[in-house]
A and B are shown apart, each in its own frame.
Chain A
Amino acid sequence: MNKIVGKEYLSDKVVKFEIEAPLIAKSRKAGHFVIVRIGKKGERVPYTIASADPQKGTITLVVQNVGKSSGKFCELNVGDYITDLVGPLGKATHIENFGTVVCAGGGVGIAPMLPIIEAMKKAGNKVIAVLAARTKELVILENEVRQFADEVIIMTDDGSYGKKGLITNGVEEVIQREKVDLCVTIGPAIMMKFVSELTKKYNIQTIASLNTIMVDGTGMCGACRVTVGGKTKFVCVDGPEFDAHQVDFDEMLMRLKAYN
């Protein structure tokens, strides 16, 4: 059983949980995710692991309240137990010394970006983090990101914090200023699509972490399938990270609406 040992509101609708899961804390790597089920009638929902403490035996998940299941999750408190938690799932991020890496994280996507920023920095990269959100309150984990990133650029839609503009404005600013060897992007599908289109223009290798609908998360059902380079791939076992320039984002955006 997985007990909640820490809960912190990062914004009105975004909650950071620290959860006991010693085996996962020990084996997880940057890019891995877990599947969580809340309540006996609950559905299985994927969350990327934001960080882990192997000594303490805990993992951190950042949950944005966007619907029924995430709503139920956010209502849980310290001392409560998660009904089911399984992982680590997916392929870990490919980490090596690329040179200069731009990490473009939007909204709650900043949370799963955090372990990648950390791992990229430890591998000797120069890491520039571009964090974007609709408004100031939704910029999360800024201090944690600053611990590892060489530079942090913050973009808000309304200009209430950092610079006014979209994530692509921040990324393009970096590209025009210096040589970028790799871009990693995590956030809403539409955001990743535009980041991908931008970097394609500059011919910069780009990795996107896809957030499709999932059921089992172990390759059993194909609910999470996407078209990458013209081939059908399962995000849960072949991903979640793919070459963004090969991903059919329009199909993915369509499939995300399957149960709306």
Chain B
Amino acid sequence: MPSKEYLQAERNQPWREALRKTMKNKERTDLPRVKMPEQPPEVRIHNFREVNLGLTPEQALAESHRCLDCVDPTCITGCPVEINIPKFIKNIERGEILEAAKTLKETNALPAVCGRVCPQERQCESQCFYVQKLKKQAVAIGYLERFAADYERESGHISIPETAPANGIKIAVAGSGPAGLAFAGDMAKMGYDVTVFEALHELGGVLRYGIPEFRLPNTIVEVEIEGLKKMGVKFVTNCIVGKTISQEDLKEMGYRGLFIGSGAGLPNFMHIPGENLIGVMSCNEYLTRVNLMQAADPESDTPIHRGKKVAVIGGGNTAMDAVRTARRLGAEKAMIVYRRSEEEMPARIEEVKHAKEEGVEFFTLHNPLRYEGDENGHVQRMLLQRMKLGEPDASGRRRPIPIEGDTLWVDVDEVIVSVGVSPNPLIPSSFAGLEVTPHGTIVVDGETMQTSVEYIFAGGDIVRGGATVILAMGDGRKAAKGMDAWLKKTL
């Protein structure tokens, strides 16, 4: 949390005080929350363009009036990268949108991304005064963040955060996903000479290969990475730390610190009969083919099955991304199969709503038992077990229990398994002395993100297992702080 003094000083600025006096709080709280304009479902299922169209300037202004500029801005406690939320919103209210964008970048390297993919309803917006005290809908912080970032990008006046004078200290980053990018941005601000090594041929990690165009256009990711390049961050694609360059190579090349943000790429399977049939694949494979390899483009050399009856197993955001992608690739029947009820689904409420509007069918309280194929080994049907909910388990969610004997066969010609991911073993297995848990995640100090190898820090999914973009970015920021402190102590 930023210091009270800093927040107080910012809030006491004359323009903020003046702005607060322009409207009574009662007038502000009576305003309705803005609605995000979106492509109609019948149109958007035929294209990969963004579903959410972004707020108009009038809508953004209206929504900014709802923020009360609280003395104690609890919203900030809900943000893993601690954006000064009232400051950026009040900048929108006074019409200084570029200032609002600058405020975002003080703590967030990728605001246009976060404004789109963060589960705000569980983070900043859940801590908003409206929710906490008024039992009303939160200020649309995410929509406003996106508005400010998009406005800045489209204005052509993209601000580059100030960087400290170069200190000549070389730092390596393994992985260009959200954790690595956030870390790189913060280290560059502090004057470090940062190089990001990426195994794939494109940058962005899950932002690129995972989240589809209709939720996060690639151009948005590219522009935000461009911003980091302008801050002096260097990027090397097709390079695997631990494989292409070893631990010794890094030392020889003069790197003083390494941040591992290699993610949880390894997809989980359920290990049930028929899971290796043709047409059954991981969500990572499916989304990588479509997003990274552009398999839907007829000019692309990468092939993809275009199933007519597609089942996606799982209830997370990735499952929603996969099922909605299948719909756009021509699936007549696109199904979510989830073993718990809709209430327990980890996916964002908005994504579930969008999926339903797009005609996705929901088999909640169902779990696949096995798949059967045709004579060519292509998946043909799946046997589903009906479930009921029992007592809460360790995760606090009610445990799904099979209803004995209650099964049904459903015809499918494509199955996408989206039941979570495990940490990618490539880096942990190639660095001697790196302490890992039995689950394969790297052990770090929770405050500094330092690993058992002094000069190595880690964050994001390689530490947490499968989590969110913004938590990964929060880890990246913490690790930058931790590594900076460690370097200052040792150099």
Contact = CB atoms under 8 A, between A and B. Distances in A.
Interface of A: 23-24, 27, 37, 39, 41-44, 68-69, 72, 83-89, 215-216, 218-223, 225-227, 231-232, 234, 237, 251, 254-255, 257-259
B199 A218 contact: yes
Contacts of B123: none
A24 B240 CA distance: 10
Nearest to B263: A220
Interface of B: 199-201, 209, 237-240, 243-246, 249, 265-267, 269, 271, 275-276, 278-279, 281-282, 284-285, 288-289, 293-294, 297, 299-303, 305, 376-377, 424-426
A84 B425 contact: no
Q: Identify the 10 closest CB pairs spanning chains A and B, nearest first.
A: A221-B285, A220-B265, A254-B377, A86-B238, A43-B301, A84-B201, A43-B302, A259-B303, A222-B282, A258-B278
B477 to A, nearest CB: 25
A218 B299 contact: no
Contacts of B271: 231-232
A237 B425 CA distance: 8
Contacts of B239: 23, 86
A87 B276 contact: no
Contact of B276 (A41, A216, A227): A227
B301 A42 contact: yes
A219 B265 contact: yes
A222 B376 contact: no
Contacts of B267: 220-222
B243 A43 contact: no
Given A215-B285, A215-B288, A43 B293 contact: yes
5 contacts: A43-B300, A44-B302, A216-B265, A218-B200, A222-B284
Contact of B245 (A23, A41, A237, A254): A23
B238 A84 contact: yes
Contact of A86 (B244, B289, B302): B244
B300 A41 contact: yes
Contacts of A218: 199-200, 240, 265, 424, 426
Contacts of A257: 278, 376-377
B319 to A, nearest CB: 16
A193 to B, nearest CB: 16
B200 A216 contact: yes
Given A86-B238, A86-B240, A255 B265 contact: no
